[in-house]
Amino acid sequence: MEKQVEFYFDFGSPYSYLAYKALPGIAAAHAAQIVWRPLLLGGVFKATGHNRPAGNRAKSKWMHEDMQRWAARYGAVFKRNPHFPINTLVLMRGALGMQMRGPNFHKYVAAIFHAMWVEPRNLGEQQELAAVLRQAGFDADAFQSLVNDPAVKEQLKKDTEEAVARGVFGAPTFFVGGEMFWGQDRLDFVAEALTR
């Protein structure tokens, strides 16, 4: 059986973006498949009583510096999004809908992470999001239909609830078999778990 690493992520999590940049190399080095698990981090926080880490001014300043260190380590471009925090409900419905409906999931994920953390855009604004989608080759009207599909809405809710039931309390979270790892700074442990 092929090795797998499950990757729970939300576009609003800068550490999810950093994990997105680093995880494919780790998975490839260990001949492992990434199982992509979009979730709604706001739903996780609500269910677990967890607060947004950047809510504390001193911690927010430290986190920005810390993210720059990790981005440099991974060779990734990272820019603070001046519109942060952004409600990611529509973005995460888009990820799940793309995953459910066809081959454009990875193209979508790349475009949204880029627009969130590389060339920061206000993805909470519908017109701005539509422009980003069009630039990436997506039909913005079809996207609106996708994210308003009751099946997509329900699946994201269900997947987020299932993540919480598994013990997920933040993003990024990884599972290798039954072992859970939280935070992109635990990727060394993920790599180690993939050797067993």
> pLDDT tens-digit profile of 39-65?
999 999 988 877 665 566 787 778 888
Name the active-site residue from 13, 16, 60, 145. 13
The rounded distance, in Å, linking the Cα atoms of 161 and 120 is 29
* Closest of 175, 161, 179 to residue 35, by C-alpha: 175
Q: So what's the pLDDT on residue 52?
A: 62
Write down the mean pLDDT value for the chain: 94
Domains and CATH numbers, the chain: 3-194 (3.40.30.10)
Work out the angle at residue 131's Cα, subtended by the Cα atoms of residues 129 and 137, and round it to the nearest 5 degrees. 105
Under 8 Å between Cβ of 194 and 26? yes
Query: pTM for the complete prediction?
Result: 0.94
Q: So what's the pLDDT on residue 55?
A: 60
Q: Is the pLDDT of residue 128 over 90?
A: yes
Catalytic: 145?
no
The rounded distance, in Å, linking the Cα atoms of 57 and 70 is 20
E strand or H helix that includes residue 43: helix 41-48
Query: pLDDT tens for residues 15-46?
Result: 999 999 999 999 999 999 999 999 999 999 98
Collapsed DSSP state (helix, strand, coil) of residue 5 = strand
Q: Is the pLDDT of residue 196 over 60?
A: yes
Q: So what's the pLDDT on residue 141?
A: 95
61 vs 166, residue with greater confidence: 166
Sign of the CA dihedral 32, 45, 124, 185? negative
